[in-house]
Amino acid sequence: MIRYALKCREGHEFESWFQSASAFEILEKAGHLSCAVCGVSDVKKSLMAPRVGSDSEAVIDPKAQAIAEIRREVEQNSTYVGRKFAQKAREMHEGTAPETSIYGEANLAEARALIEDGVPVLPLPFKPKQKLQ
């Protein structure tokens, strides 16, 4: 396993683990990397200081730890609605569905329309683990 410091075209910096250097290159060339903050797929390796210390000294990036905690909170306290997110959020906002905590996926046009219409939504700094059909 190898850890790389990464940076997206929007300037967000984060770290991620890869099976090998070649695994990173394969994923990068295929466009399968995405920013942990904004989701943009233009991600490159950034300068990173080598890790010095024993294997027993776990070095945890505070940003990655914060994102992991957000993911845990969202997954434990919300319902994943997949691609129906925009529809469900709008229904709750309009009062045609009961309000509950949900998360899911919306394309840029759907997210923009929700925000413009005053629907209280926020982007998450991670992609959902699960997928619904």
| Same domain flag for 74 and 112 | yes
**Residue 133 domain-assigned?**
no
Is pLDDT above 50 for 133? no
What is the band of 58 on the pLDDT scale with cuts at 50, 70, 90? low
- Looking up tokens 């949900």 gives 102
In a domain, residue 36? The reply is: yes
> In sequence order, what E strands does 54-110 have?
79-82, 102-104
> Is 129 among the domain residues?
no
- Mean pLDDT (whole number) for 26-35: 84
Model-level pTM?
Answer: 0.55
Structure confidence at residue 54 as a pLDDT band (50, 70, 90): low
Domain residues for 10?
Answer: 2-45
State how many domains the chain has.
2
pLDDT at 27 over 80: yes
pLDDT of 81 over the 80 cut = yes
* pLDDT for residue 59 is more than 70: no
Q: How far is it, in rounded angstroms, from Cα 77 to Cα 79?
A: 7
